[in-house]
Amino acid sequence: MIVLENTPPAILVLAIGVLFATGVYLLLERPLTRVLLGFVLIGNGVNLMLLVMGGRSGASPIIGNAPDGVRMSDPLAQAMVLTSIVITLALTAFVLAMAYRSWQLHGHDEVADDVEDRRVARHAALNAPAFEDADDTEPDRTLDEEAADVYDDVDDSDDGPADGHADRHADRHADRHKERP
């Protein structure tokens, strides 16, 4: 039976817990930058955890460097933490670039609903005011026809320049609002 002899210091364990908790909270937010901050916090929590799992600290892990009777630190945990820091750095840069691009395109960096969610919401909205049907401006239209008119961004087969993609997106949304006051 392998047992971890070194009980980690309570303060480190507490720090890991706090980092994870705040990180998860931020991860559940909508803007990409906050999600990123959450990821960075959790990433640091994991790094700390790796370090704690390496056992107690000691002399630098070079043979012959440690005075007699002094234990060396675990170098493997340090190596893993270094690798993970580098990876976190790269991914952080990528997500920042993405948040910036999102801000360029939309003026914000909130993560949008996915397509299915929007479809469900759209159907719910279409079904909701059933009692108002008598006042509907286009009473002959079936639900399917109306749904077919609603913008669906999966279907990007319409013509239009790619660089105007965002504008097209906005235009379509504007159209939709006109149709359905």
Stretch that binds another protein, among 66-74, 122-130, 133-141, 172-180 (CB under 8 A): 66-74
Is 19 a binding residue for another protein by CB under 8 A? The answer is: no
Which one among 80, 96, 126, 150 touches another protein, defined by CB under 8 A? 80
Interface of this chain with another protein, residues 150 to 169, rule: CB under 8 A? 153-157, 159-166, 168-169
Q: CB 124 → another protein: shortest distance, Å?
A: 16
Bridge partners of 72?
A: 59
Stretch that binds another protein, among 109-117, 122-130, 131-139, 172-180 (CB under 8 A): 109-117
- Checking 96-99 for CB contacts under 8 A at 24+ apart, the result is 96/33, 96/36, 98/32, 99/31, 99/32, 99/33, 99/36
- Both tokens assigned to 31: 């803007």
Binding string, residues 115-154; x marks residues near another protein by CB under 8 A: xx-------------------------------x----xx
Burial class of residue 19, CB neighbours in 10 A (0-12, 13-18, 19+) = buried
DSSP code at position 136 = -
Stretch that binds another protein, among 73-81, 121-129, 134-142, 172-180 (CB under 8 A): 73-81
Length of the chain: 181
Q: How far apart are CA 69 and CA 81, in angstroms?
A: 26
Q: Which of 165, 151, 160 is nearest to 106 (CA)?
A: 165
Point out which residues bind another protein (CB under 8 A): 1-6, 27, 32, 35, 39, 42-43, 46, 49-50, 52-56, 58, 61-63, 66, 71-77, 80, 83-84, 87, 90-91, 94-95, 98, 101-102, 105-106, 111-112, 114-116, 148, 153-157, 159-166, 168-169
